Amino acid sequence: MALLEVKDLSVYYGVIQALKGISFSVDKGEIVALIGSNGAGKTTTLHTLSGLLKPESGEIIYKDVNIAKIPGNKIVTMGMAQVPEGRRVFAELSVAGNLKLGAYTRKDKAEINDSLAAVYDRFPRLKERQKQVAGTLSGGEQQMLAMGRALMSHPDIILMDEPSMGLSPILVNEIFDIIQSVNKDGTTVLVVEQNAKKALSIANRAYVLETGSIVREGVASDLLNDDSIRKAYLGE
């Protein structure tokens, strides 16, 4: 059963068509990867799903509702959260302040405190640094903070935009382990990544985006072993 289904989605920046009628789906409980080179339209796709951009045409069916025209602040309340490219933490706020902002759509204080405790369990480094100003954290810690902030909204699906960007290989492995553990705990994940090898290694299924069109789709492990994908995206 598709939690999220995108049908014939077209998005323009002025006269330039960034997405050319793409269709894909994400089933409840899956990790789905959207891979492609820089400028393929991956971030545009996520921004359109989360209401930051409005499509020219097409449908975004989430929980059986077409959310294509719904503003982003309402979409968050429906259980969709985004971890933006480049982390985008609130640099002058503390770690705890950033996390609490992630729960701004929620009202029950006890539940928010439970979520905060769960985030600190998942990210012990954030607990150690909860009073530290977010702008002074390392890149890896900021990525953890951005993920923790998204989890504070208690999402059913989390959209992750280039989580490995700018991180050392060891930290990339740690972040992807966390993505898998978030998924095992019941959160559906759509991850956009230039690091195709890493994304395909944790995903159930994947779509390949090239200049605004989906050119391949399939089981992630099959794509990981496909010669044309290996040559184009895995540098092999």
Start-to-end CA span in the chain (Å): 35
pTM: 0.90
For the stretch 36-40, contacts whose Cβ atoms lie closer than 8 Å and that sit 24 or more positions apart, written own/partner, are: 36/194, 36/208, 36/209, 36/210, 36/233, 37/194, 37/210, 37/233, 38/194, 39/211, 40/209, 40/210, 40/211, 40/212
Give the model confidence (pLDDT) of 183-197 as tens digits.
999 999 999 998 889
Domains of the chain: 1-77+190-236 (3.40.50.300)
Question: For residue 167, what is the DSSP state?
Answer: -
Positive or negative CA dihedral for 121, 123, 129, 131? negative
Q: Could you read off the pLDDT of 51-79 as tens digits, one per residue? A: 999 999 999 999 999 999 998 888 988 98
| Cα 65 to Cα 7: distance, rounded to the nearest angstrom | 13
Residue with tokens 């496909």: 226
pLDDT of res. 91: 75
Q: Provide mean pLDDT across the span 214-221.
A: 94
